Structure 1
Amino acid sequence: MNIPDSLILVNYDWPWLVLAVVLGWAIWAAPWRVLRMPNILNIMMAACVLVLAFWQIKAGIRPGLNLHILGATLLTLLFGPWFALLGLLLVLLLASAWDGGGWHAFALNALLMGVVPVMVSWSVYRLTIRFLPAHFFVYIFINGFISAGLTVALTGVVATFALAEMGAYTLTDLAHTYLPYYLLMAWSEAVTTGMLITILVVYRPLWVATFDDKLYIHDK
């Protein structure tokens, strides 16, 4: 998912402008007061390290194209959209430094692997809160399992069109050789996220910002 500089054939300024606006909004809107809670910063850093480890376990599909577990839905459920976005940007920064490149494509990668998946994950969560009953299994299967799979699938669609628009590969080529693997990765993402969220809400519910045991468990 981490697009290398070699695939960006034309200089694009708009990803940097969009990223600057979103980053400024995230910094302004993030509930920084929660960092005063005991160990919360350590938990955030540990989660980012876990996601960074996921990103290092990747499979190459075509030259310059690889797939890996994204972890965006997991961070969104744990810390909310703003800290999830900031955490993913930190992970991307570390991954780019680790791989020794990708700075020209950093803004585009930030949009594809940060902004888009966090928006999808948070939208699913908000729709679930509004239209579905507050039940433990609804939270696990919809917000954890289905949301994670849908997030990766939609991210794959956006990434496919972005690569085709840049001229890196043709849309037909990507639709046959790249996009289908995103749909397969959606299952892995869903299982991994659903499993981790289930364990956390059972044993460490206070670590999950979007989960309230009084709402989802008590009197059910």
Structure 2
Amino acid sequence: MQLSELCFLTIILLSIKWVWKDIALNLMSKLRLEMNFQHVTCGTIILLALLWPLEASVKDNLTIHFLALTTLTLMYGWRSACGLTIVISISLCFFGQIDPYQLPSYIVLSGFIPILISYSVFLLSYLYLPRNIFVFIFVAGFFNGAFTGSMHLLTNAVYLLSLGAYDWTTISDNYLIFMPLLAFPEGLLNGVAVTILAVFKPEWLRVFFDRDYIYNHYRDK
């Protein structure tokens, strides 16, 4: 195992301290008590486990795939989303989709970092933009998904460059060139999912509150 993978493994082990309390007290207890929530969570895990292996590869390690982690973050919060990402990544490793020695970097680069970016964009929109359902859908959903997908490519590019796997010209011409092409479909995927959930199943979105995005909007009028 490379030194970088050991560093990522250390990050994962340290992060468990931060996510375990939320998972144990909230996610696990809810899974145990609510049958419907069990079905939603299992379905979410299966969908992401099927989505992530659908990737396009230009060169070795220069792979592109949809994340849908913005939706996952808005559904479960950043701590539980990180925990679910670990479960999904390990399952992909078990079925041979990810090499075991690449698992730590995969969890951090394709899981933790996009989740933290997604939650940060949501939090900034919640604090500094008008709280109505349209801002939630278009900023926390569409824009957030597109921005997170772009930052995911940039993060991977910087990581590969730091390893010396490719020079910057190769990465830029064969990988980062796809950033604008990926941003729109990634934003559309998350935006549509968030829209459907906000309209039909708002209780599935942990960060969505009617009093903030709907009732408060009409009260101000």
The alignment's TM-score, normalised by the length of structure 1, stands at: 0.89
Instruction: Single out whichever of 54-63 and 150-159 deviates more from structure 2.
Output: 54-63
Look up the match of 2:108: 111
How far is 1:30 from its partner? 3.8
After superposition, give the CA deviation of every residue in 1:150-197 in whole Å (9 maximum; x if it has no partner).
111111111101011112211221011111223321211100010011
After superposition, give the CA deviation of every residue in 1:112-153 in whole Å (9 maximum; x if it has no partner).
011110110110111111101110000000000101111111
Describe the SS at the equivalent of 1:210: coil
Structure 1 consecutive aligned stretches of length 4 or more whose deviation exceeds 6 Å: none
Indicate which of 4, 18, 34 corresponds to 1:25: 18
Indicate which of 143, 148, 155 corresponds to 1:146: 143
Structure 2: any 5+ residue segments left out of the alignment?
none
**Whole-angstrom distance in 2 between the partners of 1:14 and 1:64:** 19
**Whole-angstrom distance in 2 between the partners of 1:124 and 1:66:** 24
Which AA in structure 2 matches 1:22?
S
**Whole-angstrom distance in 2 between the partners of 1:100 and 1:208:** 29
**Whole-angstrom distance in 2 between the partners of 1:64 and 1:155:** 13
Q: 1:156 to 1:64 in 2, by over 3 A?
A: closer
**Whole-angstrom distance in 1 between the partners of 2:25 and 2:62:** 36
The correspondence of residues 1-220 of structure 1 with structure 2, limited to 5 A, is: 10-12=2-4, 13-30=6-23, 32-34=25-27, 35-36=29-30, 38=34, 39-99=36-96, 101-218=98-215, 219-220=217-218
Which AA in structure 2 matches 1:157?
L
How far is 1:64 from its partner? 3.5
- Structure with the larger helix share: 2
Structure 1: any 5+ residue segments left out of the alignment?
1-7
**Whole-angstrom distance in 2 between the partners of 1:209 and 1:101:** 30
Query: Is the contact made by 1:67 and 1:182 (CA closer than 8 Å) also made in structure 2?
Result: no
How far is 1:100 from its partner? 5.2
- Number of matched residues? 212
Describe the SS at the equivalent of 2:166: coil
Query: Is the contact made by 1:152 and 1:183 (CA closer than 8 Å) also made in structure 2?
Result: no
The alignment's TM-score, normalised by the length of structure 2, stands at: 0.89
**Whole-angstrom distance in 2 between the partners of 1:94 and 1:151:** 23
Query: Is the contact made by 2:23 and 2:83 (CA closer than 8 Å) also made in structure 1?
Result: no
Describe the SS at the equivalent of 1:105: helix
How far is 1:88 from its partner? 1.3
Describe the SS at the equivalent of 2:165: coil
Q: 1:204 to 1:100 in 2, by over 3 A?
A: closer
After superposition, give the CA deviation of every residue in 1:47-84 in whole Å (9 maximum; x if it has no partner).
11111121132212213432111111110000100111
